[in-house]
C-alpha cells in the first residue's frame, strides 16, 4: 500500500489555463473585431493599423485576413456560395480559438452575407464579437481598385464579385461604422481604439 | 496642389506586426509542440501540464486538442482516411497561425500517420515544429481507457480505432520521446521544458 504508484495507475489531472488567466497575464481582455465591407474599403489596412496601435500598448493581437487564410486553412475552398459560407465558418472557428487564447483578434474579410456574420456572432458570448462596418461607396472602392479586381469583374473575368454581380448585405446594427471613404486612416483607427476602451477590452489611456 | 488629399486617393500603408516583434514583446520565441501517440497515452494531459508550467513563466501558450477542434473547426469531419488527413491539415494550418502570432502552440492529437505529421512539419521552417512522441504501450493505454474507447473498439462499436484495427506509425526521429507509460507527469513535463530551453524557445531558468 505504501508502494509508489506506477504512473499508469495515476489519473493525471487536467490543468487548465483558461481565457481569464490569459487575460490577467496580458493586462487586457480578448475580443473578436470583425471588419466587414467591400473589397477595397480598407478592412485589412485598418485592422493592421489598429494592431500597430495595440502593439504599442503591449496588447496581444492577431489579424486574420486573406493573406494568411486563403492559401492556408481555406486553400481548398473556391468562391461558390457553399465555399464562401464554409470559408467564413472556419474563420469564425479560428477566431474563437484566438479569443480563448486571450488575443485581440481582428478579422478582415468582405463577409458579404449577414447570415454568415450572424453565425460567427452566435459562436461566442455577447460582447465577444464586435462588428465593424467599413463603409465606403462602391465608386471609391472601384476607383482605388488596388488589386485590379474591379476591372476584372467589370470585364467579366471574375464572376460573382461582391458589389458588381454579387450582393453586399450591409450590417444592420454593427457595433461601429467607420466611413473609410472619407475618414483618414488615423481617424478610423482612433474610433476602433475608442470602441475597445468603451467596452473595457483595453484599459483607459 | 497644396490641397489636403482626400483619403480615397491615399494609399494606406500596410503596417505589420510580425512574429519577431510579438516574440520580443512576449520575451520568448514561438514554436509548435506536436504531441503524438496512442489514445490514452497522455498527450493532452501532458500538453496542459506543460502549458501550466509555461504560464507560471509568463509565456504565451495555447493547446489545440480534440476538445476545442473536433466540435468546432473540424466539426464537419468524420473518421475516414480522407477526413483524418483533412483534420490534421487544418490543425497544422491553425498551429501555423498561432506560431505567427508568437504563441507556444501545443497540439495533442493521435495523428497516427507519418505522412500527415511530415506535411505539417513542412508547413513551417526548420526548428518551428518539434515532434514529441508520447510513447506508451498499447496495453497500458487500453488498461487506462479513460474514455472507454478501447472497450468500444474491441467490441466493434468503433471502427478503424488506432492501435486496434488501424495502425499507429511511430515517429522515426522525433525531437523528443517521453515514456508516458512509466514516467511521472512531472518527469515528462520537465523533459519538454528542458527541450524548450535547449532550443532557445524560452530563456534559461
State pLDDT tens for residues A64-113: 999 899 999 999 998 888 999 999 999 999 999 999 999 999 999 999 99
Give the pLDDT band of residue A12 (cuts 50, 70, 90).
Answer: low
The interface predicted TM-score of the complex, written ipTM, equals: 0.92
Element (H, E) at B103: none
The CATH class of the B16-198 domain is alpha beta
For chain A, give the mean pLDDT.
Answer: 92
Dist CA B22 CA B36 (whole Å): 27
CATH architecture of A15-197: 3-Layer(aba) Sandwich (3.40)
- CB-based contact A88:A119 (threshold 8 Å): yes
Dist CA B42 CA B136 (whole Å): 9
Q: Do B8 and A68 touch (CB under 8 A)?
A: no
pLDDT exceeds cutoff 90 at B81: no
The CB-based long-range contact list for B15-20 (8 Å cut-off, 24+ gap) reads B15/A48, B15/A49, B15/A51, B15/A52, B16/A48, B17/A48, B17/A51, B17/A52, B17/A55, B17/A61, B18/B100, B19/B99, B19/B100, B19/B101, B19/B102
Backbone φ and ψ for A121, nearest 5 degrees, come out as: -55, -40
Q: Do B97 and A101 touch (CB under 8 A)?
A: no
pTM, two decimal places: 0.93
How far does the CA of residue A171 sit from the closest CA of chain B (Å)? Answer: 22
For chain B, give the mean pLDDT.
Answer: 92
pLDDT, tens digit, 9 for 90 and up, residues B158-171: 999 999 999 999 99
Q: Do B42 and A13 touch (CB under 8 A)?
A: no
A12-16, A53-57, B76-80, B180-184: segment of lowest average pLDDT:
A12-16
What value does the mean pLDDT take over residues A5-19? Answer: 60
| Domain boundary assignment for chain A | 15-197
Query: Going by C-beta distance under 8 Å and a sequence separation of 6 or more, which residues neighbour residue B19?
Result: B30, B99, B100, B101, B102
Amino acid at each position: 500500500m505504501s508502494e509508489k504508484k506506477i504512473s499508469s495507475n495515476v489519473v493525471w489531472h487536467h490543468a487548465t489555463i483558461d481565457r481569464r488567466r490569459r487575460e490577467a497575464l496580458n493586462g487586457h481582455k480578448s475580443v473578436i473585431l470583425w471588419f466587414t465591407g467591400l473589397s477595397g474599403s480598407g478592412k485589412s489596412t485598418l485592422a493592421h493599423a489598429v494592431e500597430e496601435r495595440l502593439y504599442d500598448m503591449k496588447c496581444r493581437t492577431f489579424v486574420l485576413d486573406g493573406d494568411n487564410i486563403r492559401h492556408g486553412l481555406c486553400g481548398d475552398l473556391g468562391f461558390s456560395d457553399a465555399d464562401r459560407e464554409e470559408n467564413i465558418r472556419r474563420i469564425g472557428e479560428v477566431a474563437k480559438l484566438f479569443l480563448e487564447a486571450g488575443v485581440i483578434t481582428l478579422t478582415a474579410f468582405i463577409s458579404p452575407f449577414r447570415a454568415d456574420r450572424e453565425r460567427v456572432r452566435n459562436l461566442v458570448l455577447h460582447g465577444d464579437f464586435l462588428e465593424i462596418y467599413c463603409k465606403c461607396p462602391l465608386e471609391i472602392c472601384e476607383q482605388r481598385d488596388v488589386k485590379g479586381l474591379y476591372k476584372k469583374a467589370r470585364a467579366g473575368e471574375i464572376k460573382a464579385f461582391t458589389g458588381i454581380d454579387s450582393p453586399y448585405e450591409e450590417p444592420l446594427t454593427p457595433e461601429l461604422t467607420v466611413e473609410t471613404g472619407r475618414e483618414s486612416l488615423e481617424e478610423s483607427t482612433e474610433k476602433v481604439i475608442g470602441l475597445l476602451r468603451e467596452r473595457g477590452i483595453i484599459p483607459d489611456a
